[in-house]
Amino acid sequence: MCGILAIVGKTDPELAKEISSRMSHRGPDERDMWIQEDGSILSHERLSIIDLTTGKQPIQGTDTAWVVHNGEIYNHEELKNGELSHKTFRTTCDSEVIVHLYEEYGNDFCNKLNGVFAFAILDGDKFIAGRDPIGVKPLYYGKGANGALYFASEMKVLTDQCVEFQAFPPGHYFTPETGLVKYFNPVWEDHTVCTNDLDLDALRDSLVKATEDRLMTDVPLGVLLSGGLDSSLTSAIAKRAMDKVGTELHSFSVGLNADAPDLIAAREVAEFIGTTHHEIYFSVEEGIKILEKLIWHAETYDVTSIRASTPMYFLSKAIAEEGIKVVLSGEGADEIFGGYLYFNNAPNLVEFQKETISRVGRLSTADCLRADKSTMAHGIEARVPFLDKNFLEVSMLLDPKHKQGNRDKGIIEKKAIRMAFDDKENPFIPERILWRQKEQFSDGVGYNWIEELIAHAEAQVSDEDFAAAAETFPHNTPMTKEAYYYRTIFNKLYPQDSAVKTVLQWIPKWQVNLDPSGRANNEHVKTTEEGVSES
């Protein structure tokens, strides 16, 4: 993982270095730049994960093309040994396959990549940039006053350089000739074709494969273990794979104190699967103190993203101090399987399935953004097995009747994936955890976190200011004082209209209380200090 910057058009190299350094936290290991004859620039802030010795970027292709890439290409060895076997590679870095695919196929190659990516290629008077199908890796683009095009991993690089800018849409590539082109067109985007019968073996095997693919690294790897279903499953799969090669696996959890719901559950999972486990604590006061720094990193004012990014920020800092540079995380499962409690209130299966597709399509503005920017604030790469392209193909095409929960009928959310890993003879995780209620990350670290955060935010906003919210903030007008407070901080850091419009707010459907906390839903059952549910 890294930070990339591409400027198409004559640019001052010293200025390019300065603005690229604004995301040096993404690439603390080394920096380099390539300047084309016309003055266009590729810049790279590198976090060394694959090929620690020769993988410095930008990377030159066979002739005149150069690439910068943020992400991981999990099928790079397959491509090198297959359709690119006739190419001469300068490095053993996974990123190099991108420039060779471009040389081989022109613009039409993104669907050949299995991985996560934001890339830019300069090749004389030709240029192409692209982003992975779901938007796991961030990318922003804009136009400068002199007509130059800018592409960068973080918005803060572009804010004072571009007259307008926006988030680069997932699943697209861009060239100056074609504009944006949508290359990722999965059949499951049409909800009417999502009618497949439940195949538990295919569901389990595809997640196992996705997780094992993401163990590819030349540096220490750990797992984020909240004690929820999703992170527990990926942690268990990773532990089994690493046991085969005799490699220790470290797991990490975060909470306000040892009695936080997630820490209790994570402790149980870690003991069951046998990881070397670490518990990280933070206080509400510490969380409040870093809010401005957090919003600068996260580049959002979305309420649930900020609530959840804060504990993840502290967790990532502790992981970096342990020398771990790569972690697995469980993002995406709740969007795929309708795991958030509000999905239980869907009026019918058609609307349920439409909402899963919508939520997966918007992950780049929510959980993927949070996971990437919270971890990369400390030079940690987060990998998300549930968003593997092949696993999505299996899971998204399921008939929604295999997904929707119904508490009145005793059907818990995400039942399909729970059943797929319900191995009585050789269980992946404890039975109680396999069937544990969904706790959103910001709730699971300790219920007081959100309650005290709301109280603090409300104390910072006067009734008079809040009454004028629509006038002060006409776009995405804050609906609560908490949202108003975050918006005020965001606008101080990123005052441009373009910046405000990059943010999409996470709002649950089908419930009276629109607070994004899972506890706002009537289906929520509180977890006691012993880690069991109470009604």
Active site residues: 2
What tokens were used for 192? Answer: 């009417």
On whether the CB atoms of residues 65 and 99 are closer than 8 A, the answer is: yes
Helix, strand, coil share (%) of the chain residues, nearest 5: 45, 20, 40
On whether the CB atoms of residues 448 and 455 are closer than 8 A, the answer is: no
What tokens were used for 372? Answer: 């990437």
In the block, tokens 């119904």 appear at 406
What tokens were used for 459? Answer: 């104390």
- Rounded CA-CA distance 284/296 in Å is 19
- Rounded CA-CA distance 169/130 in Å is 9
On whether the CB atoms of residues 124 and 134 are closer than 8 A, the answer is: no
DSSP single-letter state for residue 348: S
Residues 20, 21, 26, 27, CA torsion sign: positive
In 160-220, beta strands by DSSP E = 162-167, 172-175, 179-182
- Among candidates 116, 117, 185, which has minimal Cα distance to 151? 117
- Rounded CA-CA distance 486/502 in Å is 15
What tokens were used for 28? Answer: 């603390």
Close Cβ partners of 317 (under 8 Å, ≥ 6 residues apart): 377, 378
Q: Is 281 left (phi over 0), alpha (psi -120 to 50) or beta?
A: beta
- Rounded CA-CA distance 356/395 in Å is 11
User: Coil, strand or helix: which one is 45?
Assistant: strand
Instruction: Give the rounded distance of the alpha carbon of 486 from its chain centre.
Output: 21
Close Cβ partners of 12 (under 8 Å, ≥ 6 residues apart): none
User: Coil, strand or helix: which one is 456?
Assistant: helix
